[in-house]
Structure 1
Amino acid sequence: MGIEDFKFIYWMEYAHRMWGRALGVMFALPFSYFLRKGYIGLRLSALFALGAGQGLIGWWMVKSGLEERTFVIYSGLFWTALSVVMPEPLAESLAWVQGAAKVRRIAIPVSLVVGITAVSGAFVAGNDAGRAYITFLKMGDVWVPDNLFELKPIIRNFFENTAMVQLDHRILATSSLISICGLWWWTKKLDVHPAIRSLVGATFGMAALQVTLGVSTLLSYVPVSLGTAHQAGALTLLTLMLLLNHTVRKPSMSLLKTLPQVARIA
């Protein structure tokens, strides 16, 4: 490594640390004020604890070389912000409420698959596994590599074995796309709010784009531009799934009682 390469890495790391500390201060100051006023609940306290834990994990990464990422803090903050902007879900008719409930039953497990896929992508990046098998659909000349369980104990293979990590991500990414496609197809048959239908369509389009980015990144031997776009795509897809789940969440009883159909029954 030359001195110019070292300088680039140094300043990137330094900026990352300063940015993380600035975020901590920006959260801690209003948090302390609202805590004294008695406005802080369990959710924001948990988010503050997670933020502090993220800083600790960052230090641990530098200290030990551990590669780890988490979407929990982002998901919690985004969900909290959505709850402030939209305290109640869309509920203009009983039929739309019932349609949203049917979407919710499918959207929750699909979101879990998307989240696990995003986490598996972090292990691919951490192990630089994207450069190991740069063919698709096969991995090299085979469908399944024969060195999936070469590490001991066996559990290490799911986090540190290059072949296993990439295979897991391929399977999960394909499962995410198929699941979201099924969600889109299922929603087409339901009577739901137009905003929900648009969100499902956007999620399906983003999932297709994300898989395309992933395959393109792999076949191109992981250039920085495509790799970054693929990571941004993962965050965008996760964001859309969070927004969808928040939009189809169960409305409160007070909101339900305002619907004409419910009022007539009552």
Structure 2
Amino acid sequence: MPTNEPASEYVQPRVSPYRLAAHLTSAFVIYCGILWTALSVVVPEPPNGSLSWVQGAAKVRKLAHPVGVLVGITAFSGAFVAGNDAGHAYNSFPKMGDSWIPDDIFSMEPLTRNFFENTSTVQLNHRILATTTLMSVGGLWLAARKIDMHPAIKSLVGSVLGMTALQVTLGISTLLTYVPVSLASAHQAGALTLLTLVILLAHTVRKPSPALLKSLASMPKSKA
């Protein structure tokens, strides 16, 4: 009869959350670089039509860049959730168990370890970042409604908001259902989709070339 495999740390394979986060981040950076380069080849100049639209794009750019950074940080924090199996703890929302903030979020020494290895802290961080991202994207959408800009930019801002809401919904659903593979995979795919839309938005509102700005400035203004 076959003998049982002796108990060891290799029976259940685990990946270091630090290595997982580094691997995910490098993959996202490479993907974003390739996507940006491809977009620059296909669309060498941002959409334009008037100097007013270019000025509107500049206003959106100031808001979109911080939002993009926040999206990236939130995705990065998700790697630590996966690496620490934090999704299997506190499978409730909006509270974490019976409390809003667990008592053991700073139980590790040194203090910085909690943000990367403490299951409670890692999940709390991801919740806060995801909620902040959703609110920030919502603020971007509200601000963009008052700005005169190219229709393509308006469409992208709306798409980013919709995808952010869907991604948060997927994250909550994954948590409440104890992390089934199907929902967890959809949540990871959602992160990449959201990042793609953010890159598209950043590329669309990028600063046009001096030649394009000069040609737009020389265009006669239409009379109302």
Q: Give yes or no for contact 2:18–2:80 (8 Å, CA) kept in 1.
A: no
- Where does residue 152 of structure 1 map in the other structure? 109
Q: Which moved more, 1:243-252 or 1:68-77?
A: 68-77
Q: Give yes or no for contact 2:174–2:184 (8 Å, CA) kept in 1.
A: yes
Q: Give yes or no for contact 1:213–1:230 (8 Å, CA) kept in 2.
A: yes
2:134 matches 1:177: yes
What is the distance in 2 between the residues matched to 1:201 and 1:184?
7
- The one of the two structures with greater contact order (alpha-carbon pairs below 8 A, sep at least 6) is 2
Is there any run of 5+ residues in structure 2 with no aligned partner, and where? 1-14
- Where does residue 218 of structure 1 map in the other structure? 175
What is the distance in 2 between the residues matched to 1:109 and 1:231?
22
Q: 1:201 aligns with which of 158, 171, 191?
A: 158
Given the superposition, is the C-alpha separation of residues 65 and 76 from structure 1 closer, same or farther in structure 2, using an over 3 Å criterion? closer
Structure having the higher helix fraction is 1
Q: Give yes or no for contact 1:94–1:262 (8 Å, CA) kept in 2.
A: no
Other structure's SS at 2:158 match: helix
Identity %: 66
Q: Give yes or no for contact 1:124–1:169 (8 Å, CA) kept in 2.
A: yes
Other structure's SS at 2:20 match: coil
Is there any run of 5+ residues in structure 1 with no aligned partner, and where? 1-60
Q: Give yes or no for contact 2:171–2:187 (8 Å, CA) kept in 1.
A: yes
- Where does residue 93 of structure 1 map in the other structure? 50
Other structure's SS at 1:146 match: coil
User: Which one-letter code corresponds to 2:131 in the other structure?
Assistant: T
- Where does residue 189 of structure 2 map in the other structure? 232
User: Which one-letter code corresponds to 1:179 in the other structure?
Assistant: S
What is the distance in 2 between the residues matched to 1:262 and 1:148?
60
What is the distance in 2 between the residues matched to 1:210 and 1:140?
22
The TM-score, its normalising length taken from structure 2, stands at: 0.87
What is the distance in 2 between the residues matched to 1:178 and 1:264?
40
Q: Output one character per residue of 1:15-40: Cα deviation in whole Å (capped at 9) or x when no partner.
A: xxxxxxxxxxxxxxxxxxxxxxxxxx
Q: Give yes or no for contact 1:130–1:222 (8 Å, CA) kept in 2.
A: yes
Residue pairs, 1:35-46, within 5 angstroms: none
What is the distance in 2 between the residues matched to 1:165 and 1:218?
14
- Which 4+ runs in 1 deviate beyond 4 A? none
What is the distance in 1 between the residues matched to 2:83 and 2:205?
35
2:36 matches 1:83: no
2:76 matches 1:128: no
Q: Which moved more, 1:80-89 or 1:170-179?
A: 80-89
What is the distance in 2 between the residues matched to 1:247 and 1:193?
10
Q: Give yes or no for contact 1:75–1:242 (8 Å, CA) kept in 2.
A: yes
Q: 2:20 aligns with which of 47, 64, 67?
A: 67
